[in-house]
Amino acid sequence: MKSVLNLFVSIATQPAILVALIAMLGLLLQKKKATEVVQGTIKTFAGFLVLIGGAGILSNSLTPFAKMFQFALHVQGVVPSNEAVVAIALVKYGTTTALIMLVGMIVNILLARFTRFKYIFLTGQAMLYVSCLTAVILISAKLGTGWQTIILGGIFEGTLLTVTPALCQPFMRQITGGDEVAMGHTGNIGYATAGLMGKWFGNKKNSTEDIEMPKGLSFLRDSTVSITLLMGIVYIILAIVAGPHFVETKLSAGTNYLVYALVQAGTFAAGFVVVLQGVRMILAEIVPAFQGIATKLVPNSKPALDVPIIFPYAPNAVLIGFFTSFIVGTISMFIMIALKTTVIIPGVVGHFFCGAAAAIYGNATGGRRGAIIGSAVNSLLISWLPLLILPVLGTLKLAASTFADTDYLVPGILLGNLGNLGTVAVVAGILGFLVIVVLISLILNGRDKANSKAEATK
């Protein structure tokens, strides 16, 4: 049993393998030639590895950024990091997490098949992290590690990962200009909020991607050039503030601190270029392959993919969102120090990926102003909500890290507080969540049918 679970988790948490298998299934259902099946499967697999590799380069180049920042400001506290907190939790809750994830995937597919929310969540590591969060909260709520926790946790996760892409899809249509791909990330609640902020307070006419450059600076329109220059300035300033001794002894292994800072900035830009190439490869293969699944197994279904999938649509918004989010997170940290609460230190990786995406959503509905407001509001959520989730994490609240994204924080806080009210409350809450989603689907389907009949009679 344990080896089977390990195999399942190993496959499901490797997006490249999971999505390649989905692409292969889609091509087989379309009865494509063997050569086309092999080609599409391998290209999808390779494309995701390119995307993951690029995201890894970005994350690795942000690690010294975070270390220089913390050293320069001499702050200590809790750093939101999904990877770190899950690694701690899996030691104790690994088996329960894996089984919740399995049930969650089944619930997601069933809801996509039988409701109007046709989104199949394909970001494996995000599914694992949501499963882990759910296991920690339910076990802390005294539900134990038995089948009740596994079934209830799977229902909660599967429902959540079906609904959150639906929240983002109206904005995804504006971002991508189509309806073929959905957002499969754990910041979706924040991204949808950013999209609404842009709609309410922004100006769609002034896009981040239409920023005018003087003729002499037209070379900055090349995203590789502009990202390298901007990040170079930021890294060099941080390196100067942190000081040559810290950088050269703790980070660069003796390399001159200014040279090291410049190389990290270039590495960041290189990671961005790799991500863009991976996105192009994935979209070229997974969308056509998914038509087989959408036709045969889950009609009209869409793949919900990881957050870098939208980066090519607004490269300027990516940088605007990162810096806005990080600045708001830093200001929030200083306010926490003044209030003498637990201090949430800005997680650079979280603020980059979530801040960038929030700005893209805000830009799609409200232009530059929407990008800034959207990423700022999302930053407030991921900066302050960790304070509320810490008390419901059981023994994990003592860890030096916690969950970082809105789709862990908002549902986790709600589920944890239900758990504090007792077993009956948490069971009723999870089943009520499922029932509400199904009822909303039925109501919206009924509305659509009524509108269709009204139009037909005109």
Measured CA distances, 179 to 232, 252, 432 (Å): 37, 45, 29
The pTM score is 0.84
For residues 72 and 376, which has the higher predicted lDDT (pLDDT)? 376
Tokens of 165: 């892409």
pLDDT of 362 reads: 96
Model pLDDT, residue 17: 83
Closest CA to 197 of 349, 348, 336, 321: 321
Question: 235 or 74: which carries more pLDDT confidence?
Answer: 235
Condensed to tens digits (0 to 9), the pLDDT of residues 222-249 reads: 667 777 887 888 889 889 988 999 999 9
The 3-state DSSP composition of the chain as helix, strand, coil percent (nearest 5) reads 80, 5, 15
CA-closest candidate to residue 159, choices 446, 431, 389:
431
Percentage, residues of the chain above pLDDT 90: 34
Half-sphere exposure of 102 (CA within 13 A, CB side): 18
Residue bearing tokens 């001794």: 245
- The arithmetic mean of pLDDT across residues 78-105, rounded, is 79
Beta bridge partners of 119: 302
Q: Kind and range of the H or E element at 401?
A: strand 401-402
Instruction: Evaluate if residue 250 carries a pLDDT over 60.
Output: yes
Provide the token pair at 199: 């709609």
Per-residue pLDDT for 176 more than 70?
yes
Pairing of strands 182-183, 79-80: unpaired
pLDDT score, position 102: 84
Q: Please name which of 369, 314, 370, 367 lies closest in space to residue 198, comparing C-alpha atoms.
A: 370
Q: What is the pLDDT of residues 294-316, one digit of tens each?
A: 667 888 889 898 888 998 899 88
Model confidence pLDDT, tens digit, residues 337-350: 899 888 888 888 88
Tokens of 173: 């249509």
More confident position, 265 or 11: 265
- Which pLDDT value is given to residue 47? 84
Q: Residues of the chain with pLDDT > 70: what percent?
A: 92
pLDDT at 310: 92
pLDDT, tens digit (0-9, with 9 covering 90-100), for 363-411 = 999 999 999 999 999 999 999 999 888 887 765 555 556 788 999 999 9
Average pLDDT score over residue span 187-206? 94
Mean model confidence pLDDT for the chain: 85
pLDDT value at residue 399: 54
**Which among 153, 148, 168, 157 has a CA at the least distance from the CA of 126?**
157
32, two tokens: 């494509």
Q: Which residue has the tokens 């509320």?
A: 388
Which strands form 119-121's sheet, in the order they lie side by side?
119-121, 302-305, 182-183
Contact call for residues 343 and 77 (beta carbons, < 8 A)? yes
Angle at 166 between CA 162 and CA 171, to 5 degrees: 150
